[in-house]
Amino acid sequence: MAPSMTSTITLLINGERYTLSVDHRTTLLDALRERLDLTGSKKGCDQGQCGACTVLLDGRRAVSCLQLAVAAEGREITTVEGLADGDRLHPVQQAFLDLDGYQCGYCTPGQICSAVAVIEEHAAGWPSAVTDDVRPDAGPPPLSAEEIRERMSGNLCRCGAYVAIVEAVARAAEGESAEAVV
């Protein structure tokens, strides 16, 4: 008897549980878009190079075109659809809207998910390739445009909206830190 090529999995996506039978080769991106109608994440290069399919797995960035759906079972998955709080947009989503950081919009969901993780990584003190002082006791570096560009470098924008994207990430980061102080 040949081994089964499918599994029934349960995925926790945006706080809701979804149970589905998938071929073992099904990517998380295809499960989200084709099986669950969560079409915010986009299929760009389908090779993990462009970041259009970026989602958050347990709060960390992941390109969903390279993540198998079966390997995402038991992990908390957040897509762009799960960032807003009801009708209230996530601060990153609002900043992208306010500063026109979306141009055609194709890369925007991946950019926004990455930006959410970038802000959290920065606040936790994670260094980037351009961070001057990487000692743990140095604390987070200033979230400069250079830091934002480096941290967002895995997400490509064909329209070239990078200036507005960097501004949106900076604004959202300022808002996040202001909310934390209040």
pLDDT digit string (tens) for 9-39? 999 999 999 999 999 999 999 999 999 999 9
The 3-state DSSP composition of the chain as helix, strand, coil percent (nearest 5) reads 40, 15, 45
User: Could you give the CA distance from residue 9 to residue 23 in angstroms, rounded to a whole number?
Assistant: 10
pLDDT classification of 176: cutoffs 50, 70, 90:
low
Position 88, amino acid: R
pLDDT at 175: 85
% of the chain exceeding 70 in pLDDT: 96
Contact assessment for residue 63 and residue 53, using Cβ atoms and an 8 Å cutoff: yes
